[in-house]
Structure 1
Amino acid sequence: MTKKLPLILFFLGSLFAYGQTDYGILIKSKITSPSVWPSNDYSGLHQITAGMNSCSIDFLEDNYKNDLYCFFYVTGNPTKIDFMEVLGGSPTCGQITRTIPYNKDTFKGWFFSGCLANAEIMPLHITRPDSNPKCKEDPITLNNGWNWQYQFDSEGWKNLPAQFQEQPSITFKIKDLPGYNSQANVHFIAGYEKYGQYTNTVTYSIIGCSPELAEKKPTANSVKCNNTATGSVTLKFESPLKKDDQFLFNLYRVNPVAPDTGFIKSIKASEKETENKTYTWEGIAAGTYTIKYQAQSKFDNGQIVGSSAIVTDSFTIENKDQLTFRTTAIQPKCSGDPGSIEISVTGGTSPYFYILDNGIKTPLTKNPDTINGVTDGAHTVTVLDSHGCIEN
C-alpha cells in the first residue's frame, strides 16, 4: 500500500501570505541521492520552528526529485531554531531532531544533512556590506535574500532579472536594472515569491558618477601673502561632468591639529565651471590637505560625500615668508640738495614696488634700491610685493 501525505504548511500565530515583517526564514530541502525508501513508504517530513512560527515540507512520491521550499516570518525574538526530520512509517531513519542557536540579526544560515533529505535554512532579511548613496556605475551587493524585487522612487515593484533570482547574495549595478533613467532613489526587497511574502526594504540614493582624476595629486599654489587664505589647488579630471550634474568638493586637513581638525569646508562647482575638465579651488590657507569629491545631481543640496567619493592624494599649500623692508635715509652732500632713501626688502614675492608719501606705485629695479630726489623733512614709505602684500 502506498501512503501519501497532503502537503501541509504550518503558520502558527496570526501570519498570513499577505502579511509582512522584517525577518523571515526560508527552508530549501531535497531528497538525498543515497536515500532508498521502502517500497511501501513514499512520505517524509522536514519541519522547522522559531518561536511561535513554523512551517513544514512534505516529501511525496510525486515530488521527491524536486527542490521543495517553505517560508515563514519570524516574530518576537526567539533564541533557537528547532528542526525535525521524519520518515513516516519506516524505521530506517525514524525521527531526527536538531536545535541550533538563533539571533534574527546575526543568523547566517544552517545546513542539515539528513537521512532522508538535506535542508538549507536561510535567513531572509536584506543586509548590505556597502553604504548609501550609490552612483549608477557602483557595484551594489545585497545579502540574505532569495527572490528579489526593486522599484525606482514610487514606480511599482519589479522582479530583478532572472540571473539574480533564487540567490542568497547578489551583486549588480543600478545602470543594469531595467527602467533606470536617472531616478533619485532605488528600493529593494527580498522574500519568497511563490507566497508573495517579502521582508525589509533597503533604499539607496542615486548620485551622479564622479569623473576620475587625471592626476591623483592636485597642483597646489602657495598663499600670496603670509598667513592669509589666498592659496589655491587645481584638480584635473579624465572626463567632464554629465549634464545636470555638479561637483561637491570637501576639503580635509591631513594630520589635523585642533582647532582645525579634519573637515574644513565644502564647495560646489557647476558643469560650466569645470567644462575644461579642470577646477581651481581658491581661498585656501597654508597647510596639507586632501579633497574628497563626488558628482551629484544639481538638485541635490546635500553636503556629505558618500562611500563612492573619490579622494585625492595629499597636497601642501606653502606659506609665504612675511614681507619686511628696511629704509635708510641718505643725507645730501651739500645743504639744500635733495637726499635719498635706500630700501631693502625680504620675504613676499618679487618684483617689489614702493609708494612714497601717497604717490604713485613705482617698481624697485634692484634690491636694495635707492629713491633719489627726496626733499628734506619726514616721509612715509610703503612697500608692496607682486601680490599687493605689505608688511604687517
Structure 2
Amino acid sequence: MATYEREITGPVGLCLPDGQVDPAAIGWSRRPLHRSSIPGWGRTKRWEYWCVTTPTHLVALTVSHLDYLALNSVYVLEFGPGRRREFERTAIVPGGRGVRLPDALAGSVGTRPLVVGPERPVRGQVRVEIVEEPGGTRLRARCPGPGRVPVEVDLFAALPDGHETLSVVVPWSERRFQYTSKHTARPATGTVTVGDDVLPFGDDAWAVLDHGRGRWPRRVHWNWGAASGRTDGHTVGLQLGGEWTRGTGATENALCVDGRLSKIGRELVWDFAPDDPMAPWAVHDGGAGQVDLRFTPFHVRRVRTDVGLIGNRTDQCFGHYAGTVRGDGGRPVAVDGLLGWAENVRVRW
C-alpha cells in the first residue's frame, strides 16, 4: 500500500496547545525540523535509543520515560570469531524520578544534555549521558557489568555535513501520534571497556539513533529493521518499519545512500516466523522495486515482561542483510552482508 506523505522543509511544532497533533506537523523531513514539546500528561512516551555496531561487537544505550516509570539500559554483545558474550543492565525508575528527556528543537535532535543515573553507579544502577557536540553526539555510559566489573562507554557518533536523516510524524488519531527521528550510517569512534577488556570502535563502526516522542495506544505491535555500512561501493543505511504505521497514511521507511535520503512511501512486507526468529527473514516492498532484502540472524536478544501495567515480548535479532535497494536515482545498490538487526515487538504499556 502506497502512502502520500508530504515533505516538510521548515520548522514546525508537533502539538497544538491542547495536546492534539498539529496537522501541519504530519509529514516527513530530511533533517529534524519538529519542535517536539507535548503539553499535558497521559500515555506519553519519550525515548532515546542508540546502537553502535562493528563487525565483531556492538553496544546499545536506552533512556526512556513512559509517564509512570523510566527504563535506562546498557547492552553489550560480542560476536567475533571465538567470542560470544552478552551483557545487559537495566535500571527501573518508578515515576521516572530524575529522568528528564529534553524536547527536540527544530534543526537538531536535542541541544540540551541528557544525563540520567548516578556518577558512580552500583548494583542495578545505570548512568547514561547523551550530549550534542560540534559535529555529532557524545555517548557515555557506566554501570556494573558481569562479575561486578565496571562497564564504561565513551563513543562519538559523527553527523557529517549534509548527511540526511528521516524524521516523520505518524498519526493514529488527533490524540494518538508519534514523532520519530531515525538516523542511520553515522560513523562512530571510541571505546567500550568491560573490566580490563577494551572493545574498539573505529573505521567500520556505525551508529543508529531512534529518537521518539509521542502519545501511544495501550497495545501496539511493530517490526523494525536497521543496518549501516559499506556495500557495493557506497555507504548505505537501511531504515525499515512495519505494522505500527499501517493505516495511518505514513511510514518510517527510508534508504540513506552516501548521505542522501530516499523516502519509501509504501508499507513493507515482512515475511518471517514469529515462533522461530532465528530463521531467515524477508523484507520487501511487494515488487515496487525499491526494497528486496533477506535478513539472516546470528543472535537473538529476547525480552519477556508481564508485570502490572507493562507487558513486553521482544525478539531483536542481530544479523546481516543481503539483496537490492534503489534510491531516488533509480540505480540498484547491491546489499551484501550489511550488519544490523530486525525485531518483532508486542507491547502493552
> Structure 2 length as normaliser, TM-score?
0.23
Greater relative contact order (Cα < 8 A, sep 6+): 2
Greater radius of gyration (CA):
1
Higher strand share: 2
> Structure 1 length as normaliser, TM-score?
0.21
